[in-house]
Amino acid sequence: MQNQALQNKQVAVMGLGLSGQSCLRFLLARGAKVIAMDSRTQLSAQVPEGVSVMLGDFDANVLKSVDLILLSPGLPLSHPAIGEAQAAGVEVIGDIELFARFNQKPLLGITGSNGKSTVTTLTTAMLQSAGLKAVMGGNIGTPALDLLESDYDVAVLELSSFQLETTHNLPLEGATVLNLSADHMDRYDSLEAYRQAKLRIYQHAKTRIANRDDELTQDGSETQTFGLSACEKGFGFDAPSGRLTLDGKPLLDFAQCKLMGRHNLLNIQASLALAMCVTDNLSALVETAYHFTGLAHRCELVREHKGVRWINDSKGTNIGATLAAIEGLRAQVKGKLILIAGGDGKGADFDQLLPGLVQVDELVCLGRDGSKIAALKSASHMVDNMQAAVDKCAALAKPGDLVLLSPACASLDMFDNYQHRGQVFAAAVEGLL
């Protein structure tokens, strides 16, 4: 698409978060006439001059009068006003679709319920070590449209199901669905509806990379897989030797990697498969995998104190993430595994957490839905706040034990975000010293 295609077009930007603000900047720079709309009645964000602002309830008549609607990922397509606009012939897209229409460089795409940010960051680091100018954005860090202002050889995009709903023509050199578990059930009416949104990432991908241990990530179109089993084609894992393999041959000794947990073995495989879509410098990719330390609040070691390890997995905001953390770490724990869980469950069915709770020795719960999780295990304890949770775990723990914060819930019932929750946990752990 050329810049002239937006000149003098009437465009409504719905939702003024980070992606919405990037849309405003992008559209104004290309001569569009922009209406900014947000369901909130007050905004902290500064709106550029020349932009008409409408707050509160969305006006369907206004939306029906524009040429294009750019919809924030946080707003559902099912909103009645959006439906009326679509029925009137107005095109509704998101910032990722607009980015795709202007981008001319190779792209890699990552989605899934868990691990997206780790794989996006690791893949980008691998490509940079291989000598490519690689940038990342989308659902992590830089909004996609802002990437167009930078000089890059390849862009690595983290994509949420919400973003994929409004993306129709995104050409990708490689795409992966890492895993799928129930999440955002307060927005989707079924797991299958959520899955179908995720699978949209494969539509225009040259190489489609699926998790062969998770059938929900597969739609029959995948051209490459990764998993925890031995495999003669693509990426596999030889459990007796602890080595990651490529086409059946040893490639990487996972015990020498800094990332913890079996789920991160899958993340490394996915990152390698993606990076190899645009470079053949395999030695540089493997070297990066060995030294990558992971991201904050994702199975991050906060402290080992009196023989007890304290792990911050505050990013575990859904059941699948917590199951992955428990299963990934259990084998590395000689003593008891003590789990801190609870928060806003977003309509999740916590019975799905039961296979993980069987592997947990003590359970400490807090937050809005903490009591629902506590009810699933006899060895459980309810507390009022994070400080009390850490104090309770400290009283329960002995040398050789591991305390894991992996809430299986969102954080907004008690904290600003998952980062804030992780910081409060870490501060409480440091206070034990």
pLDDT of residue 222: 80
pLDDT digits 0-9 by tens, 225-235:
999 999 999 99
What does pTM read for this prediction?
Answer: 0.84
pLDDT of residue 186: 82
Instruction: Give the span between the Cα atoms of 391 and 383, in whole angstroms.
Output: 10
pLDDT of residue 221: 87
Instruction: Give the span between the Cα atoms of 186 and 161, in whole angstroms.
Output: 13
Same domain for 108 and 77:
no
Instruction: Give the span between the Cα atoms of 122 and 293, in whole angstroms.
Output: 9
pLDDT of residue 183: 80
- Backbone torsions φ then ψ of 36, nearest 5 degrees: -100, 125
pLDDT of residue 349: 93
Contact (Cβ atoms closer than 8 angstroms) between residue 299 and residue 403:
no
Q: ∠367-368-373 over CA atoms, to 5°? A: 75
Same domain for 110 and 59:
no
pLDDT digits 0-9 by tens, 336-360:
999 999 999 989 999 999 999 999 9
Give the residues across from 402 on adjacent strands. Answer: 309, 337
204 counts as catalytic: no
pLDDT digits 0-9 by tens, 246-269:
999 999 999 999 888 888 999 999
Q: Which of 103, 114, 179, 184 is catalytic?
A: 184
Same domain for 41 and 107:
no
Residue 3 has pLDDT above 70, yes or no: no
**Rounded mean pLDDT of the chain?**
94
**173 within some domain:** yes
pLDDT of residue 43: 82
How many domains does the structure of the chain reveal? 3
**209 within some domain:** yes
Residue 124 belongs to domain with CATH number = 3.40.1190.10
Residue 185 has pLDDT above 80, yes or no: no
pLDDT digits 0-9 by tens, 108-154:
999 999 899 999 999 999 999 999 999 999 999 899 999 999 999 99
Q: What is the 3-state secondary structure (H, E, C) of the chain?
A: CCHHHHCCCEEEEECCCHHHHHHHHHHHHCCCEEEEEECCCCCCCCCCCCCEEEECCCCHHHHHCCCEEEECCCCCCCCHHHHHHHHCCCEEECHHHHHHHHCCCCEEEEECCCCHHHHHHHHHHHHHHCCCCEEEEECCCECHHHHCCCCCCEEEEECCHHHHHCCCCCCEEEEEECCCCCCCCCCCCCHHHHHHHHHHHHCCEEEEEEECCCHHHCCCCCCEEECCCCCCCCEEEECCCCEEEECCEEEEEHHHCCCCCHHHHHHHHHHHHHHCCCCCCHHHHHHHHHHCCCCCCCCEEEEEECCEEEEECCCCCCHHHHHHHHHHHHCCCCCCEEEEECCECCCCCHHHHHHHHCCCCEEEECCCCHHHHHCCCCCEEECCCHHHHHHHHHHHCCCCCEEEECCCCECCCCCCCHHHHHHHHHHHHHHCC
Contact (Cβ atoms closer than 8 angstroms) between residue 259 and residue 294:
yes
Domain of 73 in residue numbering reads as 8-93
**146 within some domain:** yes
318 counts as catalytic: no
Over range 160-179, report the average pLDDT: 97
pLDDT digits 0-9 by tens, 19-49:
999 999 999 999 999 999 999 988 877 888 8
State the Cα torsion 120-122-127-131 to the nearest 10°: 140
**86 within some domain:** yes
Same domain for 197 and 114:
yes
Listed range (174-178, 206-210, 320-324) with the worst mean pLDDT? 320-324
Same domain for 330 and 231:
no
Residue ending a domain, choose from 44, 74, 93: 93
Residue 413 has pLDDT above 70, yes or no: yes
Residue 296 has pLDDT above 90, yes or no: no
Residue 43 belongs to domain with CATH number = 3.40.50.720
Over range 155-171, report the average pLDDT: 97
> pLDDT tier at 1 (50, 70, 90 boundaries)?
low
Q: Which of 139, 179, 211, 312 is catalytic?
A: 139
Decide the pairing of beta strands 380-382 and 362-365: parallel
Question: Which tokens go with 343?
Answer: 């928060």
264 counts as catalytic: no
Please, is 2 exposed, middle or buried when counting C-beta atoms within 10 Å of its C-beta (0-12, 13-18, 19+)? exposed
